[in-house]
A and B are shown apart, each in its own frame.
Chain A
Amino acid sequence: MSDNKIGTPLVEITGLSKWYGDFSALYDINLTVSSGEKVVVCGPSGSGKSTMIRCINQLEEHQVGTIFVDGREVKPGMKNIEEVRRDVGMVFQSFNLFPHLSVVDNLTIGPMRNKGISKAEATEIAMHFLERVHIAEQADKYPPQLSGGQQQRVAIARALCLKPKIMLFDEPTSALDPEMIAGVLDIMIELAEDGMTMICVTHEMGFARKVADRIVFMDEGEIVEVAEPETFFNNPSTDRSKLFLSQLLGH
């Protein structure tokens, strides 16, 4: 638990529902994340964790409910969604670095295109963040030449280059070899300590205990339980979260 000051609401999700065809993927989601807050989302596979955080930057379009990001409503088909996305950094499970661009170009392309800043200036910003994720010496390599852990750190730096107000992580360590996981988690912990607002979908319970202000437990497209980490892990209040935790710790 961090005792960073928690400020105004940054993401406000109200009555959010989403269907894929007839399949109800999300139902009546309500969640507010304030600036400086760190929220960990967990739940069984297919429970809608990814779908929920992807609605925040409209990689998925919702059908019912409202989402506000830093006071602006985001909705399907809106103009200027790009402006919202620049405030919302996202890190994917499969890294999704641009394979045809060098590491440093992966980082500079966003600031250069979005803010129209010069290549030199963008490179300076990029090198700053590459140093922060301890990978500056790989700047001129291409993504396929890096290990999974290194790629994910580059992906985090790429998102940070836009100076986002909030970071979304969608299972950032589940595609990594075990020995790579710690390096990525360390970066995320450092980010949290610096006061970044974060929503992390992850099953890394050590990370959750250390960093999260709240745990959001989802099942079958609904938020079943919201609790502080200690409460959630030691004394879950629903049968579904008990079952989930026992399965998670079972192996």
Chain B
Amino acid sequence: MNRNTPPPSKLKKRLTVVDFLLYGAVALFIFYAVYRVNDVLVYHWNWSKVLGFLVKFDDESEAWVSNLLLQGLWTTLRLALWATVLATVFGIVMGYWRTCKNLTLRIISRTYVELIRNMPPVVFIFIFYFFVSSQIFPALGIEDIDSEGAFASSAMFHFMFGDPQLFSNFLAGMLCLALFEGAYITEIVRAGIQSTEKGQWEAARAIGLSPFNVLRDIVIPQAVRKILPPLAGQFITLIKDSAIISLISIQELTFVATEVAATTTRVFETWILVGFMYFILCYSFALLFAHLERRAKRSQR
């Protein structure tokens, strides 16, 4: 053997008896489930009816256009994106307040987090929704947004917020979701700020940096590196949690799925399809974030 011989090849991973038993058990279970549905329930699968709610052929424009389910998916995406932006803002402000010396700020942010974390999301959303949509929006005049106005009827508006006639509805759902997820982001941000060692704060202060510069130049850059992974996870959770907004009639994926299931009576097909859509959406983001994280690690000398 000399220096140029290739390294010995790795031992091949072999499947053991236990692996085969496990695969067998899973296959058996699936087989049994299919058998129950087809032969005992005598369920006749009909996918075409449901798939027709994904896209349909529009006779007027003679083109394929997205139908209810795809539109719901877009609404879900829009909701999730805006809610993430807003929740991040809440989370940063509240998370910073959680670490402040000022007692009032600490009480406010602590109350916010505890209120939301110790209440079932559904309950919070009902309370919030009826309060906001019946009290605050009319007071702000958001109900009477001019859906024919130049901005509201523009393609840009449609792309960003969906149908202008449903705007106040969209806004309520988005706010709800943002407030809700903001509480969890608050805790992530707080942990990030507090994870920066005491010595870093002290060294930054000792060279005479202002409190603002201490945060901006020293604490936040170090905290951000630590909180990006949990933040990405929270974003995916937010997409999944957005399903709950269907309860206040926001026309996102879960809401339209309920309607499609009712009109077609194809309950299994609808929910399997919708589950698959959520899975694709969330898993794509998970892969994307994992990729970004790997890249950030590599560029971090």
Contact = CB atoms under 8 A, between A and B. Distances in A.
Interface stretch (A31-39, A85-93, A129-137, A240-248): A85-93
B210 A113 contact: yes
A16 interface: no
B222 interface: yes
B200 A98 contact: yes
Contacts of B199: 92, 94, 96
Interface string A75-111: 0000000110110111010101111100000000110
Contacts of A59: 202, 205-206
A114 interface: yes
B272 interface: no
Contact of A98 (B210, B218, B301): B218
A202 interface: no
Contacts of A114: 207-209
Given A98-B218, A109-B217, A142-B301, A82 B209 contact: yes
Nearest to B198: A96
B207 A100 contact: no
Contacts of B142: none
B237 interface: no
A57 interface: yes
Interface centre among A85, A89, A100 (most CB of B within 10 A): A100
B221 interface: yes
Given A99-B222, A109-B217, A113-B217, A92 B209 contact: no
B28 interface: no
Nearest to A60: B202
A208 interface: no
B247 interface: no
B208 A110 contact: yes
A85 B202 contact: no
Interface in A39-59: 57, 59
A158 interface: yes
B207 A86 contact: yes
Contacts of A158: 207
B207 A96 contact: no
Contacts of B210: 82, 113
A99 B225 CA distance: 12
Nearest to B225: A100
B205 A98 contact: no
A83 B207 contact: no
A173 to B, nearest CB: 17
A96 B217 contact: no
A110 B209 contact: yes
Interface centre among B203, B209, B218, B301 (most CB of A within 10 A): B203
A97 B200 CA distance: 7
B265 interface: no
Contacts of B249: none
B221 to A, nearest CB: 5
Contacts of B209: 82, 109-110, 113-114
A12 to B, nearest CB: 20
B221 A162 contact: no
B134 interface: no
Contacts of A113: 209-210, 213, 217
Interface in A186-220: none
A58 to B, nearest CB: 8
The 10 closest A-B pairs by CB, nearest first: A86-B208, A96-B203, A110-B207, A96-B199, A85-B208, A90-B206, A82-B208, A113-B213, A114-B208, A100-B221
24 contacts: A59-B202, A59-B206, A82-B208, A85-B205, A85-B208, A86-B208, A88-B206, A89-B206, A92-B203, A96-B197, A96-B199, A96-B200, A96-B203, A98-B222, A100-B222, A109-B207, A109-B209, A110-B209, A113-B209, A113-B210, A113-B213, A142-B301, A155-B203, A159-B206
Interface of B: 197, 199-200, 202-210, 213, 217-218, 221-222, 225, 301
Interface of A: 57, 59, 82-83, 85-86, 88-90, 92, 94, 96-100, 109-110, 113-114, 142, 155, 158-159, 162
Given A96-B199, A96-B200, A97-B203, 18 more contacts: A83-B208, A85-B205, A85-B206, A92-B199, A92-B202, A94-B199, A98-B222, A100-B225, A109-B209, A110-B208, A110-B209, A113-B209, A113-B213, A114-B209, A158-B207, A159-B206, A159-B207, A162-B208
